[in-house]
Structure 1
C-alpha cells in the first residue's frame, strides 16, 4: 500500500442546531480511517464547491433524512496521496473526486447513497473513499474549477442529455447548476432562455455572455412567465427545461415545453406546496412531456463529462461567483442560503 504520513483531518461537521442565528457548522479534528482498506484511496482536498443543497441541509430543510452531524458538501477536487494495495485505476499524484451518489455507477443500480446526507461529505482537508466511487478529474483545470464538476457540473451535463444543436433550453435561476447548464448549452450551439427574480442578476448574465445574446425572463415581474417563454419560441415551447423550482414552477415549465419535449427536474428551490401540482397530470399528458428526475449523474456520466471537458479544453473560472478560505465555510454556507451568488461558491484549501 502506498502510504502517507497524514493521520488526522480537519472537517466541518453540521451542528444540527437549526435555530436562526446559531452556528450551523463546527470545525473538528478527527482521525482518518487508517490503515486504508486494500481498495481505498486517500485524497488531499484542494478545493470544495458549495451547492444550494448544502445550505438546505445545514439549515434543516432537506426533504430527505440525513445522518446526524455529518460532514457537508459533495463537490470537491483532491490529489491522491495514498492508495490501497488493490487499487488499479488511481496512483499517487492523480487528481480525483468522488461521485455524488456513491451507489450510482452505471445508472442501473437500484440503491442510492448521497454524500453529505446518507454518508459524510467532502468539506474536509482529507477524505478517504473506495476506488469504485472515484473519478479522475481533467488535468488542465485548476483546483477551484475542477471542484465544481462532481455535483453541479455532472447535474447540468445530465440535465441537458438529448438536446441537439439549434434547439432551445429554458434554464431557471443563476445558481451553480444553472450557470453550468448555460455554459454547456452555449458551447453546444443550443439557444438559452434564462429566468431569475432579479433584474440585476439577469443584466449581469447578459453582459457576461453577450455573444451570442441570451434571452431572459424575470419571473417575479412576469407571473405568467410560461406564456412569455412561449412567445419567445413562437408558441412552440422550449425543447428542454432545467427545472429547479419544484412544485411552484413545475406545471408552468411543462406548459412552455414543446409537445414531446423534456423537463429535467434538478432541484426544489421554491417553497414546496402540493396544491401547486393540481394541473400536473393533465398538462403532462396533454403535452406528452418526458419528466425526468436528475440526481447529479452516474460515475459513467461523470467520466463522460470529464472526457468532454478535456477534449474541448473548456475553462470554467467564469462560473465562480466568489472564493472563500476553508476556515470561512460557515460564511460561505450562509452566502448561499441567502441566495446572493451568481454561479458557484468555492472554498480554497
Structure 2
C-alpha cells in the first residue's frame, strides 16, 4: 500500500427521522479502516449521483430492509489513491466506480448486497472497496457524467437488452434511468416514445432530442395513454417498455406492448395498489408478454457498458439537470423527493 496520509473521512448518514420537513442526513467524520486489506483499494470520491431510491430510503419508503443510519447513495465516481499489496486489476490513478450490488459479479450469484441498503452507500469523500467490486470508468467522461454509470447507467443498459435497430421502446418518465435509457436507445437506432405527467418536461425533452423527432405521451392528461402509444406503433404495440411506475401503470404498459414483447420493470414510483392488477394474468398470457425484473446489473454488465461508452465516446452532459455541492446534500435529496428533476442530479465533491 502506498504511503497515504488519509485516516478519516466525511460521510452523510441518514437521520432515520421521517417527519416531513426535518433533515434526512447528518454529516459525520469517521475513521477509515486501515491498513487496507490485500485486495482492497482506497478511492477518493469526486462525484456522487442521486437516484429516487436515495430519497425514498431517506424518507422511510423503501420496500426492503435497510441498515439503521446508513450512508446513502450507490452511484459514484472517483480515483484510486492507494491499493492493497495483493491488488492485481487496479492501480493508483485509475478512474473507478463501485458496482451497486456488491455480490452481483457475473449475474449468476444467488445472494445480493445493495449499497445504501444492506451495507453503507457512497456519499462520502473516501471509500474502500475490494477490487472485485469496482469497475474502471470511461476516461473521456468528466467526474459528474461518470458518476451516473453504476446505478442509472447499468440499470438502463440491462433494461434495454434484447432489442435491435428499428424496434420501438416506451420509456416512462424523465428521471435518471429513463434519461440514460433514452440516450442508449437513440444511439442503438430504436424508435423512442417518452411518457411524462408534465408537458413542460416533454417539451424540454423534444427540444433536447429533436432529430429524429421524439414521440411523447402525457399520461396525466390522457388516462388512456396506452392507446396513444398503440397509435404510434400502428396498433401493434412497442417491442419494449421500460416500466418505472409499478401497479398503477403496469397493466396499461402490457396493453401497449406487442405480443411477445418485453417489459423491463425497473421501478415502483407510483402509489402501489394490487387492486389495479385485476387484468394482469389474462393480459400476460394473451399477449405473451415477457415481464422481467431489473435490479441494476452485474459487474460484467457494467464493464460491458463502460466498454460501449468508451468505443462510442457518448457524453451525458445533456441529461445532467443539476449539480450540488457536498454541503447541500440534504437539499439535493429533498429536490429528488419532490420529483423536480429532469435527468440526473449530481453532488460534486
Q: Name 1:330's counterpart in structure 2.
A: 330
Q: Name 2:232's counterpart in structure 1.
A: 232
Secondary structure class of the residue paired with 1:201: helix
Q: Name 1:85's counterpart in structure 2.
A: 85
Q: Name 1:107's counterpart in structure 2.
A: 107
Q: Name 2:215's counterpart in structure 1.
A: 215
Secondary structure class of the residue paired with 1:127: strand
Matched, 1:289 2:289: yes
1:90-239 equivalences under 5 Å are 90-239=90-239
Q: Which runs of 5+ in 2 are unaligned?
A: none
Measured in 1, the distance between the counterparts of 2:2 and 2:167 equals: 49
Matched, 1:274 2:285: no
Contact 1:12 1:27 in 2 (8 A): yes
Secondary structure class of the residue paired with 1:177: helix
Deviations 1:131-155 (A, max 9, x none): 1110000111100000000000010
Contact 1:40 1:129 in 2 (8 A): yes
Deviation at 1:322, TM superposition (A): 0.4
Contact 1:3 1:81 in 2 (8 A): no
Deviations 1:223-253 (A, max 9, x none): 0111111111100000000000011111111
Runs of 4+ in 1 over 3 A off after TM superposition: none
Measured in 1, the distance between the counterparts of 2:3 and 2:198 equals: 50
Measured in 2, the distance between the counterparts of 1:338 and 1:32 equals: 34
Contact 1:51 1:176 in 2 (8 A): yes
Q: Could you tell me the TM-score, scaled by structure 1's length?
A: 0.99
Q: Could you tell me the TM-score, scaled by structure 2's length?
A: 0.99
Aligned length: 349
Q: Name 2:46's counterpart in structure 1.
A: 46
Contact 1:2 1:85 in 2 (8 A): no
Deviation at 1:274, TM superposition (A): 1.0
Deviation at 1:3, TM superposition (A): 3.7
Q: Name 2:311's counterpart in structure 1.
A: 311
Which shows bigger deviation, 274-283 or 155-164? 274-283
Q: Which runs of 5+ in 1 are unaligned?
A: none
1:249-268 equivalences under 5 Å are 249-268=249-268
Contact 1:3 1:83 in 2 (8 A): no
Deviations 1:255-310 (A, max 9, x none): 10000000000000000111111211111111101110001100000000000000
Measured in 2, the distance between the counterparts of 1:3 and 1:315 equals: 35
Deviation at 1:4, TM superposition (A): 1.5
Measured in 1, the distance between the counterparts of 2:303 and 2:264 equals: 20
Measured in 2, the distance between the counterparts of 1:155 and 1:211 equals: 25
Deviations 1:96-138 (A, max 9, x none): 1110111111000001110000000000000101111100001
